[in-house]
Structure 1
Amino acid sequence: MSDEGQPAPGRGYRRGPVLLRREQIPATTSDQRLLLRGDDASWLHDDPWRVMRIQSEFVEGFGALAEVGPAVSVFGSARVAPEHPDYALASEIAGRLVKAGFAVITGGGPGIMEAANRGASEAGGLSVGLGIELPFEQGVNDWVDLGVNFRYFFARKTMFVKYSEGFVVMPGGFGTFDELFEALTLVQTQKVTRFPIVLVGSDYWRGLIDWIRGAVVDRGMIAAKDLDLLPVVDTAEEAVRIVVQRVRELHAAEENTLSLQTDEDL
């Protein structure tokens, strides 16, 4: 990124598979144009055609990620500098995930995402980055082996959940919270049934957990047992151990269910 917040000349601005630079960089993103209805009825004619573009994002994403194999997504702030302890921790987590047999998926950007991609790549594993079109595009980091760029957040978020066995969530901002709470909602409502979520950094997440345990549980907005969906750890070893353990438990439960169904058919 340049000092003015605009894309650096060598990086450019990615809109799906298209690379734009200098005066070709648009003033709005695809998500903005989709959600902005406008003052006239032109959206009635534009939106049906936009559906084809949305469909193509799903087709391209499914095609690119179909053979990734078991993977875990690592989320966290794009603003973390390489010298920050969280950067080293994310890299270690990714390396341990690779050694446990997982590919590592991130949002493909800088900060924690870059650290996780780097850790996975240096450990000899598959490093995946799912980029997104933003007003100030930062590009996919250099440690991504397999990168897919998306115009629409909802298409990208589908890929995270569909191709991940679980989420490791490090300190981050609104984007990190968005992914965290969407995954929690999917697990709580049993839209996904085998999906561990681990929060890393008790000093960062403690306030959120205390608020959920107090205001949210006390008012009956969620059940107390729902807090079990949010283990908080401080080390890479703990984070990966929980992911591996829960994935194995959930796979074993699925195999037992399948075995029971097969026995009933005999």
Structure 2
Amino acid sequence: MTDDRFHRQGPVILRGARIPDATADAALLSNERSSDWTHTDPWRVMRIQSEFVEGFDALADLPPSISIFGSARARPGGPSYETAREIAQRLAAAGFGVITGGGPGIMEAGNRGAREGNGLSVGLGIELPFEQGMNEYVDLGVNFRYFFARKTMFLKYSLGFVAMPGGFGTLDELFEAVTLVQTKKVSSFPIVLVGRDHWGGLDRWIRSTLRESGMIGGADADLLTVVDTAEEAVDAVHSGIHRLAAEKKAETPE
């Protein structure tokens, strides 16, 4: 009986006994008390460098683009999937490229909608212990070994983020973006959360517990916009982009 399992490691596909026990990220972050890392990590830096070079090269000519995040577990026909698909379709029809993580669920919905809207559909994949692979609707795909290299590409090439309902991965991407905007490490961009039933509790906690206890600034909670429909999401992206552009222009000396 043949072993049909396969594993993507950057541009390389491995099968059978060649599949590693740990991903590149896991190996990098391992805290095993061994001196072997002194021999491997300097070379690992070259691999990390190559991921940045390949990513920048592949994405340099993207049109203005919006990233869509959300659960890989969403199914076609489900409300989150279809809403993400419609959002991507509307964004593409308005001239935006759509960037996702390239996998299934909400990512597939975003890439599918982008293609249906005649826009550029981009997938930024990541090496995982369980193989996902690029969904069939990705027009331009780049696979990464390291999460931090992939996150840099999302932030560098996006004018805004749309977060659909999701789990820990979605929360990770969301709060990474909010923190970098809050600390002005990146230019401000709209961050839209779709689904009040899913995000409402988090939004209320941020506005009450965090803001009222002084853990964040008074205006920090307003970095997030919560909506329900695809139309509201796209309107929030557009208005956020225009508002931030106007604020930046006003701050620029004549």
TM-score range, shorter chain: over 0.9
| Corresponding residue for residue 153 of structure 2 | 159
Query: What SS does the corresponding residue of 1:142 show, helix, strand or coil?
Result: coil
| Corresponding residue for residue 240 of structure 1 | 234
When structure 1 is superposed on structure 2, of 225-234 and 19-28 the one drifting more is: 19-28
From 100, 106, 114, give the equivalent of 2:100. 106
What is the deviation of 1:193?
A: 2.3
Q: Distance in 2 between the 1:55 and 1:42 partners?
A: 21
What is the deviation of 1:178?
A: 0.4
Q: Distance in 1 between the 2:32 and 2:160 partners?
A: 39
1:111-150 matches, within 5 Å, as: 111-150=105-144
Q: TM-score scaled to structure 2, two decimals?
A: 0.95
Alignment: residue pair count: 252
Q: Distance in 1 between the 2:187 and 2:149 partners?
A: 20
Which ranges of structure 1 fall in alignment gaps of 5 or more residues? 1-7
Q: Distance in 2 between the 1:89 and 1:122 partners?
A: 14
When structure 1 is superposed on structure 2, of 74-83 and 224-233 the one drifting more is: 224-233
Letter in 2 for 1:177: L
Q: Is the 8 A contact 1:198 1:231 kept in 2?
A: yes
| Corresponding residue for residue 42 of structure 2 | 48
Letter in 2 for 1:173: G
When structure 1 is superposed on structure 2, of 238-247 and 148-157 the one drifting more is: 238-247
| Corresponding residue for residue 179 of structure 1 | 173
What is the deviation of 1:210?
A: 1.7
Q: Distance in 2 between the 1:214 and 1:246 partners?
A: 23
Q: Is the 8 A contact 1:199 1:232 kept in 2?
A: yes
Q: TM-score scaled to structure 1, two decimals?
A: 0.91
Q: Is the 8 A contact 1:12 1:139 kept in 2?
A: no
What is the deviation of 1:133?
A: 0.2
What is the deviation of 1:23?
A: 2.4
| Corresponding residue for residue 219 of structure 2 | 225
Alpha-carbon deviations, 1:203-260, whole Å to 9, x = none? Answer: 00111112212221222101232111111000111111111112122223434555x3
Query: What SS does the corresponding residue of 1:148 show, helix, strand or coil?
Result: strand
Q: Distance in 1 between the 2:139 and 2:60 partners?
A: 15
Which ranges of structure 2 fall in alignment gaps of 5 or more residues? none
1:73 aligns with 2:67: yes
1:26 aligns with 2:28: no
1:13 aligns with 2:29: no
| Corresponding residue for residue 61 of structure 1 | 55
1:191-206 matches, within 5 Å, as: 191-206=185-200
What is the deviation of 1:45?
A: 1.5
Letter in 2 for 1:91: R
Alpha-carbon deviations, 1:60-86, whole Å to 9, x = none? Answer: 000000001200000000001112111
What is the deviation of 1:137?
A: 1.4
Q: Is the 8 A contact 1:200 1:235 kept in 2?
A: yes
Q: Distance in 1 between the 2:44 and 2:155 partners?
A: 24
Q: RMSD over aligned Cα, in angstroms?
A: 1.4
Q: Distance in 1 between the 2:162 and 2:216 partners?
A: 22
